[in-house]
């Protein structure tokens, strides 16, 4: 996360400097004009005088009117030079934080947006832009199935809300083709990225190809191949079971990935139920997915959402 935030802050600083140097450039340009320069010093001097008299609680006489007149003259001269008053003040992109990235010590919306954009850019395969589990998501789902989907969405929404302090950092969502698992996992991925955490959303076929490449690569090139799988906060493996099963590769590397980090966060969607997962990937992977301490495997069959137990 730190990297993403640093990059976003760098971009915001760039925006600030850009806005300020544009205003500075105009100030420098108009200062070259003797008439403008004179009017400007007169305005400043009058401003000081008024402030001093004000502090002493003395009458400022006609000084204020004089100042207004001078300001109008200065403004007119500025216009003759091709500029307006507003060209002299920096135009920050974000009016909330003036391109500093923070408001009262908290991260500004613009910074959060930038971090999110960066994270989305890195995540790529996420199948939706939605980032909230609201009622809109249920619109396309048949009435009879809505209760089970509501339940599933509530569980995923809680996962995103708790992230990264999830009681069960591994979630499996099992259900038939077309039940919207991938979409729901995509919403979850976006919701996690909204919190500033990085997500890798990878299809099981792509993941399996990566495993095979790794398996066949010369030793000195292996680490590089796995770089995308390391250093992200959440890995979503979409449609596990759709990939061809390579001997000595698929199940072994899948197990290695799932156990690579003790507290690793994974969300897995699959068409397979628990028994099928076990027969396909073996006991080790199955028990990792069904480990009650850190995993939850849900079965979404359209009618109901059930937690599968070993
Ligand atoms: Zn801002």
Q: Are 90 and 23 in contact (CB under 8 A)?
A: yes
Which tops the pLDDT comparison, 157 or 298?
157
Provide the pLDDT for residue 143.
82
Which residue is listed with tokens 């339940």? Answer: 151
pLDDT tens per residue, range 93-103: 999 999 999 99
Q: Does domain 124-308 have CATH number 3.40.50.300?
A: yes
Q: What count of other Cβ atoms lies within 10 Å of the Cβ of residue 247?
A: 7
Place 249 in a pLDDT band, splitting at 50, 70 and 90. Answer: very high
> Mean pLDDT over residues 189-195, rounded?
95
Residues 6+ apart with CB under 8 A from 134: none
How far is residue 162's CA from residue 157's CA, in Å, rounded to a whole number?
A: 9
**CB-CB contact of 241 with 226 (8 Å):** no
Residue 2: the pLDDT is 60
Query: Would you state the pLDDT for residue 310?
Result: 42
How many whole angstroms from 260 Cα to the centroid of ligand 1? 38
The DSSP call for residue 229 is: G
Higher pLDDT among residues 179 and 63, named by residue: 63
Q: How confident is residue 37, by pLDDT bands cut at 50, 70 and 90?
A: very high
3-state SS class at 71? helix
Give the rounded percent of residues in the chain with a pLDDT score beyond 70: 96
**pLDDT level of residue 151 (50, 70, 90 thresholds):** confident
Residue boundaries of the structural domains of the chain: 18-92, 124-308
* pLDDT averaged over every residue in the chain: 89
Ligand 1 centroid–CA 100 distance in Å is 7
Q: From ligand 1's centre to the CA of 113, what distance in Å?
A: 9
Cβ atoms of 214 and 251 within 8 Å: the answer is: no
Query: Where residue 81 falls among pLDDT bands split at 50, 70, 90?
Result: very high
According to the model, what pLDDT value does residue 308 have? 63
Mean pLDDT on 16-26 = 95
Q: How far is the centre of ligand 1, averaged over its atoms, from the C-alpha of 38 (Å)?
A: 37
Query: What's the pLDDT at 147?
Result: 83
* 241 vs 153: CA distance, rounded Å: 22
pLDDT band at 306 (very low <50, low <70, confident <90, very high): low
CA angle 120, 126, 127 (to 5 degrees): 135
- Average pLDDT over every residue of 55-77: 93
How far, in Å, CA of 198 to CA of 192, rounded? 8
Cα dihedral value 130, 132, 134, 139, nearest 10: 20
3 state DSSP class of 118: helix
Helix (H) or strand (E) holding 140: none
- 172 by Cβ neighbours in 10 Å (0-12 / 13-18 / 19+) ranks as buried
What's the CA-to-centroid distance between 6 and ligand 1, angstroms? 15
Task: Measure the CA–CA gap between 299 and 213, rounded to whole angstroms.
Answer: 32
* Residues flanking ion ligand 1, Cβ below 5 Å: 94, 96-97, 108, 110
Beta-carbon contacts of residue 153 (< 8 Å; ≥ 6 apart): 133, 137, 138, 184, 187
When pLDDT is averaged across residues 246-265 and rounded to a whole number, the result is: 90
Looking at per-residue pLDDT, the higher value among 279 and 175 belongs to 279
Give residue 35 CA to ligand 1 midpoint distance, Å: 38
Q: Residue 90 burial (CB < 10 Å; 0-12/13-18/19+)? A: middle
- Please tell me the predicted confidence (pLDDT) of residue 171: 93
Q: What is the pLDDT of residue 202?
A: 93
pTM, two decimal places: 0.77
DSSP string, 158-206: HHHHHTTS-SS-EEEEE--TTSSHHHHHHHHHHHHHHTT--EEEEEHHH
Sequence-distant (≥ 6) Cβ neighbours of residue 212 within 8 angstroms: 246, 249
Tokens of 300: 């979404």
Which distant-in-sequence residues (6+ apart) come within 8 Å of 254 by Cβ? 211, 240, 281, 285
């Amino acid at each position: 996360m730190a990297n993403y935030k640093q990059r976003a802050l760098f971009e915001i600083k760039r925006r600030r400097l850009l806005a300020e140097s544009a205003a500075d450039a105009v100030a420098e340009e108009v200062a070259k004009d003797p008439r403008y320069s004179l009017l400007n010093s007169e305005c400043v001097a009058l401003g000081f005088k008024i402030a001093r008299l004000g502090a002493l609680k003395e009458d400022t006489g006609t000084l204020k009117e004089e100042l207004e007149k001078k300001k109008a003259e200065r403004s007119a001269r500025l216009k003759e030079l091709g500029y307006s008053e507003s060209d002299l003040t920096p135009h920050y992109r974000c009016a909330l934080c003036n391109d500093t990235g923070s408001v009262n010590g908290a991260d500004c919306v613009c910074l959060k947006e930038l971090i999110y954009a960066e994270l989305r850019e890195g995540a790529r395969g996420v199948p939706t832009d939605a980032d909230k589990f609201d009622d809109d998501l249920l619109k396309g789902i048949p009435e009879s199935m809505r209760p089970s989907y509501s339940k599933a969405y509530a569980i995923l929404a809680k996962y995103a809300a708790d992230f990264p302090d999830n009681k069960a950092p591994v979630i499996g969502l099992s259900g038939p083709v077309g039940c919207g698992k991938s979409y729901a996992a995509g919403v979850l991925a976006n919701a996690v990225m909204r919190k500033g955490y990085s997500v890798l959303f990878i299809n099981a076929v792509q993941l399996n190809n990566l495993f095979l490449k790794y398996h066949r690569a010369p030793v000195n090139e292996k680490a590089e191949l796995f770089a995308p799988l390391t250093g992200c906060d959440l890995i979503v493996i979409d449609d596990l079971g759709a990939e061809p099963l390579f001997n000595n590769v698929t199940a072994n590397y899948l197990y290695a990935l799932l156990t690579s980090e003790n507290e690793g966060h994974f969300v897995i969607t699959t068409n397979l139920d628990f028994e099928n997962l076990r027969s396909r990937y073996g006991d080790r992977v199955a028990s990792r997915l069904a480990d009650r301490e850190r995993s939850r495997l849900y079965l979404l069959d359209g009618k109901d959402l059930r937690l599968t137990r070993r």
